[in-house]
Structure 1
């Protein structure tokens, strides 16, 4: 793959453009193959501690995507009181109405292997794996946004972990960390506000 030099501003513009979109449609601005290509490149190139490569991803389209949210709905029916379930059901239908879902996992076998190999840093490897996974989630989200797709990030783990693993034969060492729902944008993103940068950034020595 050839590399193209781009300015930092071009990269930052893509990051600024990433937003949360509700609801999403099944209309994709790019092919499913292009979505897979984007995710494959992100998985390969997002950094990880000691190059441990603990990130794992499952991409669901069509019936498989809808099955995920049917599973989640059924599980939530056993948790949320029936009298209060209507808003939850509406939210699940909204996610199901999108085009697909990206499931992000961390392979605990890799994490535990690194802990055994580098005992001095054993406590840090779960944290580093989570940080790498978060970078992957953000990278995929930004890249899909750059292709014109909308997305929103959900966290129905751990309550759906067992059923997801059973349905798609996920290895027992893969720990689910997030679900990125993607699809066509049906409207603008909500307003985004910012706290003062002075409260969040300090610079010394410049």
Structure 2
């Protein structure tokens, strides 16, 4: 249990990324694939689809995101967020988290419940991936640029990498070696966060 708690504590948002890792990209992807097998999903629907980009593909992704966000963000937000986008190009790669809308449609639910299950499926997948990376001494952060299937915001990313039309982008996780650790973290009272009622 102590080892599990240590992995949870080591998972932090890391923005200063590098490529200094003892693991090859193939080993990292193999670990992510193994992790995803046991990620829980509603009705065992397994709706999440992950795409790992590295090298030139990773650079193309973040150049596209930078081009789009430059046009839509106000100056103050751009000044804050653009270093995060630029820094994502310095790491080993990025995990793109999609939900396959065709698979989501097969769940025996509808409306708001389907949306909730879809988001839960993706959240489980994201957290499991983040923990797996942390266990490999890799840092990452969770980003939500160019998301919005209905509005067509993620269409450019699908087209850039020839991905299925049914893939709905939920998040990106740039990852790499930890070149600068996370700062101090503030915690709310644990008894407020987790309550016991007898």
Q: Identify whether the pair has TM-score above 0.5, normalized to the shorter chain.
A: yes
Q: Aligned runs of 1:14-33 on 2, under 5 Å? A: 14-33=7-26
Matched, 1:164 2:144: no
1:47, CA displacement in angstroms?
0.9
Confirm or deny: 8 A CA contact 2:65 2:146 kept in the other structure: no
Two-structure CA RMSD over aligned residues (Å): 2.0
> In structure 1, which of residues 143, 147, 151 is the aligned counterpart of residue 136 of structure 2?
147
Confirm or deny: 8 A CA contact 1:25 1:184 kept in the other structure: yes
Give the match for residue 78 of structure 1.
Answer: 71
Q: Aligned runs of 1:10-159 on 2, under 5 Å? A: 10-80=3-73, 85=78, 87-114=80-107, 118-119=108-109, 122-158=111-147
| C-alpha distance in structure 2 between counterparts of 1:201 and 1:82, whole Å | 39
Give the match for residue 4 of structure 1.
Answer: none
Q: Deviations over 1:44-87 (max 9, x none)?
A: 21011111110100000111011110000111122235798555
Q: How many equivalent pairs are there?
A: 194
Give the match for residue 5 of structure 1.
Answer: none
- TM-score computed with the length of structure 1 as normaliser: 0.86
- Spell out structure 1 runs of 4+ moving beyond 6 A: none
| C-alpha distance in structure 2 between counterparts of 1:122 and 1:81, whole Å | 34
Q: Deviations over 1:7-56 (max 9, x none)?
A: x3322221111111121112223111111111101222101111111010
> In structure 2, which of residues 170, 182, 185 is the aligned counterpart of residue 189 of structure 1?
182
Structure 1 runs not aligned, ≥5 long: 1-7
Structure 2 runs not aligned, ≥5 long: none
1:183, CA displacement in angstroms?
0.6
- Indicate the structure (1 or 2) with the bigger Cα radius of gyration: 1
Distance 1:107 1:83, change over 3 A: closer
1:174, CA displacement in angstroms?
1.0
